[in-house]
Structure 1
Amino acid sequence: MCSFAVVIHESGHLLMMLIFGSKPKKISISLFEIAINDESRQQRGDLQNFLIVFFGPFANFICFIIIFLIYLFSGTDLLKFAYVNLSLCLLNLLPVMSFDGGQLLYILLSRRFTGHTAEKAVNIITFIALFPIAVLGFIILFNSDYNFSLLFVCGYIILSLIFKNNRYF
């Protein structure tokens, strides 16, 4: 279920890239992410880049709406899949580097500030966002049957900060 939601998410990015006439150079799959290597980012305007980044979470949101409506009107047991899509949408919209929300924030900030300043700002916001995400992760862990998925996300964000594994434009 989660893998299919990730495919929907990445398909949203790819669809917008193709609409704007860009083709990915390479798509790589690793344990933690699917990376779309796009060498034409620098040639596109901010609006096109913003829409390409935004359309991944938006595709998950649209999928959530459609599946939720199907659930409401037919009673089909697809509610978990709807919530997986909503969760992936919301998680990716967090203003955290290496997530779509961090990329969107970088695009917006770089219109007003230098790329270096925008990158620093997103890194600081990422660091600040870690605390509430970690607290929520521990609350979920202690109130569930050992669901540590949000803490795993925190670990990924921390490692991204340490190794500067961000991919800003």
Structure 2
Amino acid sequence: MFKIIVSDIEFRLGILFPAALVIIFTIDKTGIPAWCVAASAMHEAGHFVTMYLFGCKPSLVSIGFFGIRVEQNVNRRVGYFKNILISLSGPAINLISFMVLWITTGINIAAVVHFIIAVLNLLPIEPLDGGQALYYLLAAYIGEERAESICLGVSIFILIPLVTIGFFLLIRSGYNFTLLVVSIYLGLLLMLKRRCEKDS
């Protein structure tokens, strides 16, 4: 794990992340992974900038095998509704990029990647942006403990059919494992988030 602190923000880079990128870029000839990385970077930049605009300077930016995580400074947390906007700012950037690309160049790989990343992150699954937005919305009205329980239930409720459909598609096609992998990945993210919360 490589760590560096810049302007009171700790940046962490896991070893597996650059290694995975090297392997993917070496094997892939379509250019899709490059667009995925670019769209993801713009997505996270949306969160980052929105935090700054709301006076909530991030304390940690972690880049690892399970993606990029931006954590707020516990001493500078903002209200629930500002957190909703922070959560939705990433997908908003991707949707805006999709619209701009669609209007200027038509539907192409870059536009599709932005659209997929936006839609995926808007799913109400923890710890995706949609799940975070749902949590903050519920917490504002019914409290954090109940909101957390409901969000966990919603996440599981959505993940189970996604995994089932993904498995069915894999069996039916013999090669289409994308949805299954994404569903398992989201499940691992959820487990990782819960584990981090227990350890903290």
* TM-score normalised according to structure 2 size: 0.73
CA distance in structure 2 between the partners assigned to 1:86 and 1:32 by the alignment? 20
- Asked if 1:100 corresponds to 2:134, the answer is no
CA RMSD of aligned residues (A): 2.2
Deviation at 1:102, TM superposition (A): 0.5
Deviation at 1:26, TM superposition (A): 2.0
Deviation at 1:41, TM superposition (A): 7.6
* Alignment correspondent of 2:116: 87
By relative contact order (CA 8 Å, sep 6+), the higher-ranking structure is: 1
Among residues 32, 35, 45, which one is paired with 1:11 in the alignment?
45
Q: 1:4 to 1:41 in 2, by over 3 A?
A: farther
Alignment identity in percent? 35
Identify, as 1 or 2, the structure richer in strand: 2
Amino acid at match of 2:103: L
Kept in 1: contact 2:80–2:139 (CA 8 A): no
CA distance in structure 2 between the partners assigned to 1:41 and 1:109 by the alignment? 22
Kept in 2: contact 1:133–1:154 (CA 8 A): yes
CA distance in structure 2 between the partners assigned to 1:129 and 1:42 by the alignment? 32
Q: 1:68-117 CA distances to partner (integer Å, 9 max, x unpaired)?
A: 11123xxxxx6111011000000000010110111000011111212111
Amino acid at match of 1:30: G
* Alignment correspondent of 1:118: 147
Q: 1:41-87 CA distances to partner (integer Å, 9 max, x unpaired)?
A: 86311221111111000000000001111123xxxxx6111011000
Greater than 4 Å deviation, 4+ residue runs: 142-145
* TM-score normalised according to structure 1 size: 0.85
Deviation at 1:22, TM superposition (A): 2.3
Unaligned runs of 5+ in 1: 73-77
Unaligned runs of 5+ in 2: 1-34
